[in-house]
């Protein structure tokens, strides 16, 4: 994306070109800053890696232990999760497929338990518990029929959540086990709970089935740190684990910790939809093996990486700064085109309004001319002289009105070049209001001009001030509802002329006020182009003035244009 010489000459005429021209040094400084900062940020981590012992220790850890430890822990967790999910899904399926009357009969419940044991190992017993917490039907090796669980924590949690997977506990059975429970809605705010017991030995057998190294210890704990299976280094089932419970993670995590004066790498993961946490521990001394060989690899990697990074940084920074410069030139060219397009659009809108205005006078001309013709045809003398004069006067007034409208249009459109005139601000405002008079009448919007200045005269470019005032009035019209009001106040103080346009429209929020003068930002959504206030602001600055905005949502807005009274030279 290059700027040719012709485009460059065109941009030199732009009001924004001086900004880029004066910032030539900025591009050079920007390039230096990007290069220095990027090199520091990119190379600093590599220099930190020069602390060879720590980096090599971490790399050896990842090569020899972390990956297989992570993989093995994840596989065991997946097996446990599948074991629990399969049995929970089977229980959920039975509760949906079997009606309550069938499940409440012991012989049917016994048949269901038998089929569960044939399909899924691990089930000990099965029970049906009503909404009051009483076990109304039970099959299994224990005498638990009629037991009340209404005061048990698991019962209340199952009622609230709709399902429940417990920790390993003793309970009425006196043996370590855990339970699965699901709620089946019966209608009329009634329900029952189908509850199955599974031996904790199944959990331990799933863990033991994996090929665990002799130096490793794999076990389950719950979120309170109670062992759910026996541990090689940490004690028996249902005893308190001596270490803090690891923080929750959805994936397998590995941390380094100390236990019984020994350093361990601890891999853990939470089993989904349960309170079980799988822990695998291994002594860290077993991983200190390849650190010497990795040191030389690190030095070579560090050297080559540094050279490559520096080359890429210089190349990338040069291209990036060059693109910024080129795009800024293109932006200035685009803004010039947008300003010119907006001017033509404004003239087009005025032309449409003038065409509408001309229709009425032309209709009067046509009507009165016809009447004159008729009178002349039927009259033998000049008895109707005064009547003819009256009609003729009406025709002349209509023609004059057309002339004034056309004159105002040409006066606005022809000032493409900058020209300093002596301007009566109040008269200019009245002239601009005439452009939108029909819309004001149609929408019943009142407009009032309050001039505090006895002599509202300034020297500036009439055409550009006219465009600024028209843009502000159009924005006010868009903001107010039908029947609203617009007030224009003119004041002069310390060589400055203030023109305040106040409306009682929808107002502007504090966040939007910060953006309303940005190009292409519009609070009118699909109705606005986002260029009106942007171009207006540029014109006012070009005229040596400024725009101030005050607004409250739901109350209205005040746009105040401040211009120098004596403006002998317009900024180009």
Are 169 and 276 a contacting pair, CB within 8 Å? no
pLDDT at 270 over 90: yes
Which tokens go with 267?
A: 């891999």
Element (H, E) at 362: helix 291-378
**415-564 has which fold?**
Heat Shock Protein 90 (3.30.565)
Count of alpha carbons within 13 angstroms of residue 339, beta-carbon side:
19
User: What is the separation, in whole angstroms, between the first and last Cα of the chain?
Assistant: 27
Q: Tell me, what's the pLDDT at 2? A: 46
Position 18 confidence tier, pLDDT thresholds 50, 70, 90: low
Burial class (CB in 10 A: 0-12, 13-18, 19+), 559: buried
DSSP code at position 525: G
pLDDT in tens, 101-129: 888 899 999 999 999 988 888 899 999 99
**Whole-number Cα distances in Å, 246 to 74, 95, 123, 223, 269:** 16, 35, 30, 9, 9
pLDDT tens per residue across span 317-349: 888 888 887 887 777 767 766 765 666 566 556
Output the six-digit token pair for 199. Answer: 């031996």
The average pLDDT across 506-525 equals: 77
221 close to 152: Cβ distance less than 8 angstroms: no
pLDDT at 542: 83
Which top CATH class is 49-289? alpha beta
- C-beta separation of 392 from 438 below 8 A: no
Q: How far apart are CA 168 and CA 246, in angstroms?
A: 19
Domain extents for the chain? 49-289, 415-564
Q: Does residue 11 sit in helix, strand or coil?
A: helix
- Which comes out higher in pLDDT, residue 526 or 470? 470
For 274-283, 334-343, 445-454, 495-504, which range has the lowest pLDDT when averaged over its residues?
334-343
User: Across all residues in the chain, what is the average pLDDT?
Assistant: 79
pLDDT at 469 over 80: yes
Task: Report helix, strand or coil for 558.
Answer: strand
Please count the other Cβ atoms lying within 10 Å of the Cβ belonging to residue 374. 10
The yes-or-no answer to whether 49-289 and 415-564 have a common fold is no
Predicted pLDDT at 499: 92
Q: Return the pLDDT at 201.
A: 87
Structure tokens at 131: 């909404």
Q: How far is CA 280 from CA 212, 213, 221, 234, 538, in A?
A: 10, 11, 11, 12, 69
Q: Which residues pair with 179 in a beta bridge?
A: 197
Question: What is the per-residue pLDDT across 19-29, written as a single tens digit (0 to 9) for each?
Answer: 455 556 777 88
DSSP 8-state symbol, 440: H
What is the per-residue pLDDT for 14? Answer: 47
């Amino acid at each position: 994306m290059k700027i040719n010489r012709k485009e460059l000459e065109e941009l030199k005429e732009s009001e924004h070109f001086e900004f880029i021209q004066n910032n030539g040094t900025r591009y050079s400084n920007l390039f230096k800053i990007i290069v220095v900062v990027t090199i520091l940020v990119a190379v600093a981590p590599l220099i930190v890696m020069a602390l060879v012992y720590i980096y090599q220790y971490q790399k050896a850890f990842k090569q020899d232990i972390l990956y297989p430890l992570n993989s093995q822990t994840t596989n065991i967790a997946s097996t446990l999760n599948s074991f629990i999910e399969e049995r929970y899904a089977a229980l959920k399926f039975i509760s949906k497929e079997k009606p309550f009357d069938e499940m409440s009969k012991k012989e049917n419940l016994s048949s269901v338990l038998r089929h569960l044991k044939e399909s899924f190992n691990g089930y000990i017993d099965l029970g049906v518990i009503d909404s009051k917490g009483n076990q109304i039907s039970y099959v299994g090796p224990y005498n638990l029929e009629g037991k009340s669980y209404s005061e048990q924590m698991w019962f209340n949690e199952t009622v609230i959540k709709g399902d429940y997977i417990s920790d390993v506990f003793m309970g009425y059975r006196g043996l370590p086990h855990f339970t699965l429970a699901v709620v089946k809605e019966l209608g009329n705010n009634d329900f029952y709970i189908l509850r199955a017991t599974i031996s904790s030995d199944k959990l331990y057998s799933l863990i033991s089935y994996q090929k665990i190294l002799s130096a490793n210890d794999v076990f389950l704990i719950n979120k309170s740190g109670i062992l759910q299976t026996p541990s090689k280094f940490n004690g028996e089932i249902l005893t308190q684990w001596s270490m803090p419970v690891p923080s929750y993670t959805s994936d397998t995590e590995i941390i380094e910790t100390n236990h019984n004066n020994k350093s361990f790498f601890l891999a853990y993961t939470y089993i989904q939809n349960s309170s079980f946490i799988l822990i695998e521990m291994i002594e860290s001394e077993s991983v200190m093996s390849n650190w010497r060989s990795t040191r030389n690899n690190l030095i070579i990697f560090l050297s080559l990486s540094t050279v490559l990074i520096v080359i890429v940084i210089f190349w990338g920074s040069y291209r990036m700064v060059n693109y910024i410069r080129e795009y800024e030139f293109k932006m200035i060219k685009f803004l010039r085109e947008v300003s010119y397009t907006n001017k033509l659009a404004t003239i087009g809108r005025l032309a449409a309004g003038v065409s509408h205005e001309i229709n009425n006078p032309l209709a009067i001309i046509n009507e009165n001319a016809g009447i004159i013709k008729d009178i002349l045809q039927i009259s033998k003398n000049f008895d109707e002289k005064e009547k003819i004069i009256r009609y003729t006067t009406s025709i002349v007034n209509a023609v004059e009105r057309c002339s004034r409208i056309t004159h105002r249009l040409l006066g606005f459109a022809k000032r493409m070049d900058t020209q300093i005139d002596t301007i009566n601000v109040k008269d200019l405002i009245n002239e601009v209001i005439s452009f939108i008079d029909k819309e004001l009448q149609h929408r019943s919007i009142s407009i009032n001009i309050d001039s505090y200045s006895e002599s509202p005269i300034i020297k500036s470019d009439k055409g550009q001030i006219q465009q600024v005032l028209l843009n502000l009035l159009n924005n006010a019209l868009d903001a107010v509802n039908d029947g609203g009001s617009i007030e224009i106040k003119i004041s002069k103080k310390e060589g400055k002329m203030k023109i305040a346009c106040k409306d009682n429209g929808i107002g502007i929020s504090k966040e939007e006020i910060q953006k309303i003068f940005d190009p292409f930002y519009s609070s009118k959504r699909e109705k606005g182009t986002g260029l009106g206030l942007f171009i207006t602001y540029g014109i006012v600055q070009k005229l040596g003035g400024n725009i101030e905005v005050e607004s409250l949502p739901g109350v209205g807005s005040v746009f105040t244009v401040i211009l120098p009274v004596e403006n002998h030279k317009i900024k180009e």
